[in-house]
Amino acid sequence: MVYYNMFDKNLIYGILISILILCIYHIVSCQCNDGFQCNDGFQVGGEKHREKYGGKHRGKHRGKHRGKHRGKHRRKLEKEIIQLEREISQVSDTCDIGETVVCSSGEDCAGNQCCQDGSTCPSAQKSFSGCPKVKNSDCTEECNPHSNNHDGGGCPEGNCCSGSPPKCQPCGACIDNRDCPSNKVCESNKCIYPHVYCGGAMSTPFNPSFVEIGNTDNYYTDKNITLNTILSISGTLCINKEFIISGAEIKILKGGKLIINSGGKLNINPSGKITNNGGTIKNGGTITNRGTIINNYDGTKTGIIGTITNYHGTITNDDGTITNNGGTISNYAGKITNTGTITNNDHGTITNMGGKITNNDGGTITNYIGKIDNFNGTIDNNGTITNNGIIINYGQGKICGNDILNKPITGKNVGIGCP
């Protein structure tokens, strides 16, 4: 009886444990079906129990559910990856030949293919010509930076081949000066005009279409220019190349500066004219005048005087006219050669300091109520010099050649041989 009771009790315990095991298994199985992670090899009751319940049940239900769930999740990730690749391709500046990129019409292409709009794929080879249209954009790095670089050759319009490695990018980008036009330099990966200082300030290239240079403007010439219009200068213009005034006029206003640098050439044709109204002409190069130069006193309350300074330069007045109306013409160790007419009026001053003024046969220099100072310089007169004002020769200055008409010259070394 006791045995029976103990047996019945053990049997009841066994049944209860089995029921508990089945409940736990069912709970875990339900969680797996809802997408939770399940461990293969859930062991309760031994391998046989697992094979009987776990293997069959989970293989049928859990495997089917998880395969479906994982497949759906994988497809979603693949779409996101494709979209990300498209976005990267759209913002990337470069690509490899044959790389999958996005056409301008929106679809994918790779290498030597045609887009739906008929254009060539952006990652196609340069030699590929099998599409109705050329590339709308080119992301490949296959270009020659020193061949037809700056007119879009080999790249879409508006783009040039430059950089390291070479690639098509907006014109103006550069690695070194070879990537830039001859009148520009490479700085901070951009083609810019070189820093040229004119009159003590940074300047930019002059355009012959300009009709005015404002008082805060500074320009320089980076090429030979022929001026065919009227140009007013209140700011500064530096001439570094040949500058021809033909059928035109430069008006230099108060505070304006016309600077001819070493190597610069200012040629005034017979129909050309320079009128200096209280400005400055500074010559360190060459001025050849066949037209007219008028150097005026400003006439305002400030009393600004027009100034022409020839500093180690050359001024040739070749059958032209230079009129100094109350201004100052200074020749510092330079050369002024006249075969035309030079007139010094209204208390104007011509100073020859260590330079040479040569008045050739047929040339005329007339000093009306003005002053000519020759200090350590030479005035060689083979034409006509008429003095109605003051001519002073001092220091080691020499005045030679033909006699000076009218008023005598003050000083010594007059009439002796010129070197």
CA distance 134 to 101: 16
Q: How confident is the model at residue 12 (pLDDT cuts 50, 70, 90)?
A: low
For 293-338, what is each residue's pLDDT tens digit?
988 765 433 345 678 888 888 999 998 999 998 888 999 989 999 9
CA distance 218 to 374: 34
pLDDT at 417 over 90: no
Residue 49: per-residue pLDDT: 45
- pLDDT, greater one: 412 or 133: 133
Residue 151: per-residue pLDDT: 43
CA distance 359 to 381: 5
CA distance 143 to 149: 9
Q: What share of the chain has pLDDT > 90, as a percent?
A: 32
Residue 35: per-residue pLDDT: 45
- pLDDT, greater one: 206 or 63: 206
Alpha-carbon torsion 12, 14, 19, 24, what sign?
Answer: positive
Question: With contact defined as beta carbons under 8 Å apart, do 320 and 299 qualify?
Answer: no
Token pair, residue 400, equals 């030679």
| Cα three-residue angle 111-112-115, rounded to 5 degrees | 90
Residue listed under structure tokens 């979603």: 76
For 309-321, what is each residue's pLDDT tens digit?
888 889 999 989 9
Residue listed under structure tokens 């505070």: 255
Residue 396: per-residue pLDDT: 84
Closest CA to 28 of 41, 18, 17, 16: 41
pLDDT at 53 over 60: no
pLDDT at 40 over 50: no
Residue 227: per-residue pLDDT: 94
Residue 325: per-residue pLDDT: 87
Residue 70: per-residue pLDDT: 59
Residue 171: per-residue pLDDT: 66
Is this prediction's pTM over 0.75?
A: no
For 239-295, what is each residue's pLDDT tens digit?
999 999 999 999 999 889 999 988 899 999 999 999 988 888 999 899 999 999 988
Say how many C-beta atoms besides its own lie within 10 A of residue 383's C-beta: 19
Q: How confident is the model at residue 45 (pLDDT cuts 50, 70, 90)?
A: very low
Question: With contact defined as beta carbons under 8 Å apart, do 104 and 116 qualify?
Answer: no
Range ranked top by mean pLDDT from 5-19, 152-166, 187-201, 259-273: 259-273
If you average pLDDT over residues 69-91, what whole number do you get? 59
Q: How confident is the model at residue 143 (pLDDT cuts 50, 70, 90)?
A: low
pLDDT at 197 over 70: yes
pLDDT at 66 over 70: no
Residue 277 burial (C-beta neighbours within 10 Å; 0-12, 13-18, 19+): buried
Residue 363: per-residue pLDDT: 94
Average the pLDDT over each of 108-122, 213-227, 243-257, 394-408 and give the range with the smallest value. 394-408
Question: With contact defined as beta carbons under 8 Å apart, do 140 and 150 qualify?
Answer: no
For 199-223, what is each residue's pLDDT tens digit?
777 788 899 889 999 988 899 998 8
Mean pLDDT, the chain, integer: 76
Q: How confident is the model at residue 158 (pLDDT cuts 50, 70, 90)?
A: low
Q: How confident is the model at residue 393 (pLDDT cuts 50, 70, 90)?
A: confident
- pLDDT, greater one: 143 or 345: 345
